Chain A
Amino acid sequence: MLAVQQLEAGYGESVILRDVSLKVKRGQVVCLLGRNGVGKTTLMKSIMGLLKAREGSVTYNGKDLTKKAPGLRAKSGIGYVPQGREIFAQLSVYENLLLGLEASRVKVSTVPEEAIAKFPVLPTMYERRGGDLSGGQQQQLAFARALAARPEVLLLDEPCEGIQPSIVDDIRDVIRSIKADGQTAVLLVEQSLDFVKSVGDYFYVLEKGAVVWEGSLESLDDEVIRKYLTV
């Protein structure tokens, strides 16, 4: 349902991504692997529209989104949990969640139950400011905020970065339950191999801004890992 074709993108003069193509199907968890600085986050940003594509296209359900603003992409069903969480620090936790509803395709005025049910700690902190939360709590908030709009594709950029193990487990459970529903596709960037192996269906490996390997869980063997992922 989400397809990236021959995408080229970069910052200023420098080209970060060259000729990247990938597909994400409904109900699938697709993982994006690669060492630091190979363009994983850049690819996420170009899919979301924060970076303009120089070449190639981003299509979603057959609709060409390449020239569309991030807001319109969100409204057509793409949810985004960015690296570093990007919580609105001065807004309360509840306001952060309400902002998640902006992209909702059905008009609702309250945060849907299923978005917060997975993070029971959030309702106890509604009145606190987003910036006062710890990193792990912010990550859960960022997740719930993205889920509030009931996205069909969820872009997760390093959701477990700097998070305590128990919350990493929670996040894994959330991704699994999303997968079990079969309605939402996930594109996941994550450094921890154990984590991606435990949730992923299909894998792309990036190197120097290009896809150098792709395959399913079974074919992601030690040789691939040694060649592209070990430092």
Chain B
Amino acid sequence: MEVFLLQLFNGLSISSILLLVALGLAITFGLMKVINMAHGELIMIGAYSTYLTQNLFQDYLPKSLFDWYFVLAVPVSFVIAFIFGLILEISLIRFLYGRPLDSLLATWGVGLVLQQLARSIFGAPNVAVTSPAWLNGGMKIMDGTLLPYKRIFIIALVIACLVSMYFYIYRSHEGRRMRAVMQNRDMASCLGVSTRRVDAMTFAIGSGIAGIAGCALTLLGPIGPSLGTYYIVDAFMVVVLGGVGKLVGTVLGATGIGMFNTLFEYWTNASLGKVLVFVCIVAFLQWKPMGLVAMRSRSLD
């Protein structure tokens, strides 16, 4: 029972991290079809934004307030990554729509530049972000089973991100324009939607969510300039497995990979478990190349 609960929680926790990392990509790659290799670096930017927020609190604010820096760090990471995303879209991505190979190379290059930029500013070694005291420790549900607050916080953060994304995409005016442009760009523009604005906003929001992911990753360990590269493959895998273009698919993809990863690692060991997960994904995509939640074809006509 204990083991089962613990494994379930671990699976959920890994799923939540995967999902947070992949959510931004679900927008930039899933909706906009830009193969955004710089996604990992936008995560890294979010992580360093958190680091900067922490340092500012340490240096300029009374110690009693320090614990609350993290509450501010989440929006700060979002905004900084959002701005980077906006600059990237306006200066580069907008010339590369409909050219997947070019966008792959160009964003990869941007990723390398951003990594080097981080190395020049913050130095090559990893830096540590001190988690606020209220996230230390954990919830004890029975003997030997401790659910760390950090992990619970990340799960809650993912849910919050999902809910706000849902409302933005499916319930707001901006979201309606965004879905219209992504489905039928020409017709949307003929109705008076400014497609340039929608593109820029959509890419920037995807980047901003990558920033929030980076902020959450600071809770799990030290951060460095190449932080993003560890997560980029997983992020793409989640989006592709879930089915490109569907938010629900991304959630299912992340949960699937997270759960199976935990399960296989429990049955075998860490490296073999990972291999088994990859094998399963490859096999699944052979069977269903469109991913878990494929758009029904009739409505695409």
Write the residues of chain A forming the contact surface with B, with a CB cutoff of 8 angstroms: 48-50, 69-71, 74-75, 80, 82, 86, 88-91, 95, 98-100, 102-104, 129-132, 145, 149
Chain A proximity mask over B191-209: 1 for CB below 8 Å, otherwise 0: 1111100000000000000
Q: Are B187 and A86 in contact (CB under 8 A)?
A: yes
Judge whether B192 and A86 touch: CB under 8 Å.
no
Q: Decide if A99 touches B299 in the complex (CB within 8 Å).
A: no
Contact of B183 among A70, A90, A98 (CB under 8 A): A90
Besides A49-B190, A103-B192, A131-B301, 7 new A-B residue pairs in contact (Cβ under 8 A), listed by A number: A48-B190, A70-B186, A75-B192, A80-B190, A89-B301, A99-B177, A104-B192
User: Which range contains the number of B residues in contact with the other chain?
Assistant: 20 to 34
In Å, the complex CA distance between A48 and B186 comes to 10
The answer to whether B193 touches A99, judged by C-beta atoms less than 8 angstroms apart, is yes
The 6 closest A-B CB pairs, nearest first, are A103-B192, A131-B299, A74-B192, A102-B192, A86-B187, A70-B189
Q: How many A-B residue pairs have CB under 8 A?
A: 74
- Least Cβ–Cβ distance between B52 and chain A, in angstroms: 39
Pick from B179, B180, B190: contact of A74, CB under 8 Å? B190
Q: Are B176 and A132 in contact (CB under 8 A)?
A: no
Interface centre among B188, B191, B298, by most A CB within 10 Å? B191
The residue in chain A whose Cβ has the minimal distance to the Cβ of B175 is: A95
In the complex, chain A residues whose CB is within 8 Å of the CB of B299: 89-90, 129-132
Report the Cα distance A70→B184, complex, angstroms: 13
Q: Which residue of B lies closest to A74 (CB)?
A: B192
**Whole-angstrom distance between the alpha carbons of A103 and B191 in the complex?**
6
Chain B min CB distance to A151 (Å): 10
Contacts of B191 in A (CB 8 A): 71, 74, 80, 99-100, 102-103, 145, 149
A95 with B176, Cβ < 8 A, contacts A71-B195, A89-B299, A132-B299 known: yes
The 8 Å CB contact of A91, one of B183, B186, B194, B300, is B183
Question: B168 to chain A: closest CB distance in Å?
Answer: 14
In whole angstroms, what is the CA distance A103 to B192 when docked?
Answer: 5
Q: Are B300 and A89 in contact (CB under 8 A)?
A: yes
Contact (Cβ within 8 A) A50 B180: no
Whether, in the assembled complex, B56 has its beta carbon less than 8 Å from a beta carbon of chain A, the answer is no
Cα separation A131 to B299 with both chains bound (whole Å): 4
Q: How far is the CA of A212 from the CA of B131 in the complex (A)?
A: 77
Whether the pair A69, B189 counts as a contact (CB closer than 8 A) is: yes
Closest chain-B Cβ to A13's Cβ sits at a distance in Å of: 19
B residues less than 8 Å from A103 (CB atoms): 191-192
Whether A71 lies near B295 (C-beta < 8 A) is: no
Bound complex: CA A71 to CA B190 (Å): 5
Q: A69-B189, A82-B187, A131-B300 are in contact. Are A88 and B194 (CB under 8 A)?
A: no
Contact: A71 with B300, CB < 8 Å?
no
A66 and B145 CA atoms in complex are apart in Å by 70
Q: Is the beta-carbon distance between B183 and A71 smaller than 8 angstroms? A: no
Which chain B residue has the least Cβ–Cβ distance from A72?
A: B192
Could you say which residues of chain B place their CB within 8 Å of the CB of A88? 179-180, 183-184, 187-188
